[in-house]
Amino acid sequence: MTKEKSDSGRLLYIDNLRVLACFLVLLTHSVMPHTGSTHEGFWMYTMSFAGSPSSELFLALSGTVLLPVHTGFRNFYRRRFSKLLPPLIIWSVLGVMLYTYTKGWTWHQAATVILQIPFQPAISVYWFVYVMIGLYLFAPFISPWLTGASRRQIRLFLGIWCVSMMYPWLSHFFPELIARYYLSGSYYWEFCYFGGFLGYWILGYYLNKYPIKIGCNRRWISLCALSILYPTIIISLKFGNSYSPELIDNLQIGSAIAVAMLYTVMQNVRPGKRTQLILSSIAKYSYCIYLTHIFIARELYWGVLDSSGFHVVPRTLITALLTLATGYVLTGIIARIPFGRYVTGTR
């Protein structure tokens, strides 16, 4: 498989995956609240579910780009956190100020939320960035192992990780035999040290180094079959009234399958030059688009489209596309002002 690169040496499929992950986040959070209609509820759930592997994709991409770390601890932390933290803090504070105005928070509530930013997200969807902070801290520690690890050793790690990711499914179907799965990821069992979001980083590193080839090989056929089976089972359980929320949690095997499938497909997609330029430009701004999307979608476009009369599917897609376009333009403007890079996370 040929890995095409941009003039700067970046792998182009990583830019494309970053745009896809960004759009899936927007899609998930563009779905408006359920009005009570069963028919509408089905489509709302399906649209939300379609965007569910978004955060996991971002995590896998970080593993592809950053692992293994070849610089010293201090240099790595300085470079990564100087790009990650300032935009997080700035948009968290701005978000709290916005909610103080729109949701009627008191100034005491706002100050309390701001003071808690080092310990928990001020805006709920920012949980993903806090996971990234923890993985950044751990990256230099695991890198020496990755540098010397064989393909078989990495596959063994991922295999045990996949077993841990099956735990919510096992606890759903065999609740008497297996202790209930906790959404926090605290399993209290023998595979707990292989569980969690680190697996997505290792998966991204592995799929970049050992990509799955599209064709008639067994790995690709198995991945296709599982990618079709997983959403079919989930939707059947959801509307058969035997659904458990943990079955679409970030830390379950279906999410890992979806990430592997999307990675493989995007590694084999070759957009035209003009399309690629657009995708790479959006990818550059994806972090700030992620940080601002929840305000743009819900404070701006929800109110406009709520009374449009559109079906839930086009309404959600329009909201996501408008949010993407608005976030891109906003980030581009901010990035061009003095010190704007500290607000956008671009360099």
Bond preceding residue 68 cis, omega within 30 of 0: yes
In angstroms, the Cα distances linking 108 to 103, 134, 259 are 14, 29, 41
| Average pLDDT, rounded, for the chain | 84
State the CB neighbour count (10 A cutoff) for residue 318. 16
pLDDT of 51 over the 60 cut: yes
Distance of alpha carbon 269 from alpha carbon 17, whole angstroms? 10
Tell me if residue 11 falls in helix, strand or coil: strand
pLDDT of 67 over the 80 cut: yes
Task: Give the lowest-confidence range in 27-41, 96-110, 319-333.
Answer: 27-41
Could you read off the pLDDT of 71-129 as tens digits, one per residue? Answer: 889 999 999 999 999 999 999 999 999 988 888 888 888 999 999 999 999 999 999 99
Can you give the pTM of this predicted structure? 0.87
Distance of alpha carbon 88 from alpha carbon 86, whole angstroms? 5
201-229 burial code (b ≥16 CB/10 A, e <16): bbbbbbbbeeebeeeeeeeeeebeebbee
What angle is formed at CA 309 by the lines to CA 307 and CA 311, rounded to 5 degrees? 125
pLDDT at position 254, please?
A: 85
Distance of alpha carbon 333 from alpha carbon 325, whole angstroms? 12
Distance of alpha carbon 118 from alpha carbon 121, whole angstroms? 8
Could you read off the pLDDT of 241-283 as tens digits, one per residue? Answer: 666 777 777 888 888 888 988 888 888 888 888 999 999 999 9
DSSP per-residue string spanning 143-200: HHHHHH--HHHHHHHHHHHHHHHTHHHHHHH-TTTSPPP-TTS---STTGGG-STHHH
